[in-house]
A = this chain, B = another copy of it.
């Protein structure tokens, strides 16, 4: 954006003026343009050196009495005498401002304690954290960060600007066995791999299994929370968001921009269509198709209104039973 933040480290923070921030965001400011900001905080705990933001009418009230040095607000915020930056999308502007105030400080390079296969080639500005293990045949795109203790099995490919949080495991064997004649399970060798697009974030202790054959695939812009499990041969589109502790069995297909809540369970070969929304805790049966439109919820998952109707019916019947037995 042609903007250079004055890099004065104040603890973990940069120091910028309101004017510099407003310029960087290409947004108008009102009030003290030269005020110095060194941090960010919620409205109720912000100090005069902090940036904050107000995204809703409810937050507007809190903003009126906040001690924040500057508040990012929407166009309809009734400003009296505060220093504010106005943006039509306050959350996004605040996110961008935070990236300036708190620039990433993770150094590029391979930490000496990481164990990296001989054939690994470090491409521009990749950071491999302490305790990471990268097996042979792995590629990681420029701009990517692996936090501590991440494990990447062999032949996995990861795109640009990935963020992998501590303890996540990419490329472990999928879960497949066949009973032999002696009634022992023999392992179905998992000889496929994992391919991950650009701009993906993977949460702490999340696991993405390699394909049995072929490829487990995550598209661009996928965001996985902590402790998610992605089974072998899943095909996950672009810009899919999956919240914590959700598990996908083998061969699940997820379309672009699907949003999947936390603790959801998805059975083998289910298909989640582009833009579909699955509520937290829902259970999707094997081979089911979840369409976009109305969110689904419950186990087995149904359109939200239908599920809520079922819950209401049950509550009504229980009350009726209760009255009749009194």
Contact = CB atoms under 8 A, between A and B. Distances in A.
A199 B226 contact: no
B95 A178 contact: yes
A216 to B, nearest CB: 13
Contact of A151 (B148, B189, B247): B148
Interface string A244-271: 1101010000000100001101010000
A137 B153 CA distance: 29
Interface SS of chain A: loop
A173 B184 contact: no
Contacts of A283: 263, 280-281
26 contacts: A41-B214, A95-B186, A96-B186, A98-B188, A98-B191, A115-B148, A129-B133, A133-B148, A135-B148, A147-B172, A148-B151, A149-B151, A149-B167, A165-B172, A167-B207, A169-B204, A177-B223, A183-B257, A185-B199, A187-B201, A204-B207, A209-B226, A229-B245, A245-B265, A247-B263, A280-B283
B191 A40 contact: yes
Contact of A12 (B94, B137, B314): B137
Give the oligomeric copy count. Answer: 3
5 tightest Cβ-Cβ pairs between the two chains A and B: A133-B148, A151-B166, A98-B189, A115-B130, A169-B204
Interface stretch (A26-34, A57-65, A76-84, A315-323): A315-323
Nearest to A256: B183
A99 interface: yes
